[in-house]
Amino acid sequence: MKQRHIEVFAPVDNRARVDTVVRRIGDAIELGLLAEGEQLPGESELAGQLGVSTVTLREALMALRQQGLVTTRRGRGGGSFVSLPVSPGQARLKTRLRGWSTEELRDLGDHWAALSGAAARLAADRTGPADLRQLGRTVEELTETDGAAARGRLYGRFHVELAAAAQSARLTRGQVSLQTEVGALLCLVLGNDEYREEVADRHRSVISAVQDEARDAARELAETCVRESTARLIALRLTL
């Protein structure tokens, strides 16, 4: 199984149940960690991976179908399939954001900045120009993409790819896990075209510093990018 799937389908806390399964899979779909049309594992297998009962899983899949994030086909070749939303579920995401306190968001931002900063610093030491092409393509795709959901997916993808460029399996797993937790929330702040351009410029600066092997500058730029986004989420949280 692909590494990103291992993180998405890792066991959930026994206290969480249906809501956590819905949030875990729903955020992964909106972030693009699960692709459009991708078939989810069978009910028994998926329930086992998540550490919940099949009854709990079926309730979660029903909720995901009602949100338009999953479709289910019966019969031969049937199963549950990802249905990528054209636009993020704003109400669902704002409800999700309300579940975070400002202190928790700051703590999350610190953790995220540490991951991205370390990845950028290591990438400056370890990666070559060929390894940065995908990062560059992701940035350019971000500048050309309309829709907050797609922009949120590309923002998260950049930071996962940065960790991959650092050639660190642990940092990559950490970024994937973090993106499944909070990445979808970025849709709430990336609808603004001006901020989208600002993010793209920051990402280009990170790539440039990595290419120049400027370790400390790459780390600082990556951390600043994450901290600015976290600050915007906190500001939005205070209005809810």
* Residue 222 binned pLDDT confidence (cut-offs 50, 70, 90): very high
Lowest mean pLDDT among 11-20, 92-101, 109-118: 11-20
* Residue 191 binned pLDDT confidence (cut-offs 50, 70, 90): confident
Inform me whether the pLDDT recorded for 151 exceeds 70.
yes
* Residue 39 binned pLDDT confidence (cut-offs 50, 70, 90): very high
Q: Which of the given ranges, 17-31, 65-79, 85-99, 120-134, has the highest pLDDT on average?
A: 120-134
* Residue 187 binned pLDDT confidence (cut-offs 50, 70, 90): confident
CATH topology assigned to domain 3-85:
Arc Repressor Mutant, subunit A (1.10.10)
Domain segments of the chain: what residues?
A: 3-85, 91-239
Over residues 197-210, mean pLDDT: 97
Architecture category of domain 91-239 in CATH: Up-down Bundle (1.20)
Inform me whether the pLDDT recorded for 106 exceeds 60.
yes
Identical fold, 3-85 and 91-239:
no
Under 8 Å between Cβ of 71 and 65: yes
Inform me whether the pLDDT recorded for 15 exceeds 50.
no
Inform me whether the pLDDT recorded for 31 exceeds 70.
no
* Residue 12 binned pLDDT confidence (cut-offs 50, 70, 90): low
Question: For the whole model, what pTM was predicted?
Answer: 0.70
Give the per-residue pLDDT at 87. 55
